[in-house]
Amino acid sequence: SVKTPEAYPTAADEAQLVRHYITSMRNLLALGILSDASGGRPIPAVVETIAITYLKRFYIRTSCLEYHPRSVM
């Protein structure tokens, strides 16, 4: 029997992709690559937490196929 590949990602695949971008966002903030536009100051931890929460909540109702996590970040 020949197995055909799935055409679309599963919910688990999409969750894994969102987790990857959350980790990437944390790494960029920790390295100071993402900083405050007004003076190069690091972004406060509260803002980081809100951004991650927003990303998670956004993908509760939206698919990664509609909006890529990099665009939402």
pLDDT digits (tens, 9 = 90+) for 20-59: 988 988 888 887 776 666 666 777 888 889 988 988 888 8
Asked whether 34 and 43 are in contact (CB, 8 A), the reply is yes
The residues that bridge with 42 in the sheet, in sequence order, are 35
The predicted model scores a pTM of 0.70
Residue ranges of the alpha helices (H) in 1-73? 11-31, 45-61, 69-72
Joined tokens for residue 28 = 């960029």
Spatial distance between the Cα atoms of 58 and 35, rounded to a whole number of angstroms? 23
Amino acid at 52: I
Cα 47 to Cα 57: distance, rounded to the nearest angstrom: 15
Q: Which of 2-11, 25-34, 62-71 has the lowest mean pLDDT?
A: 2-11
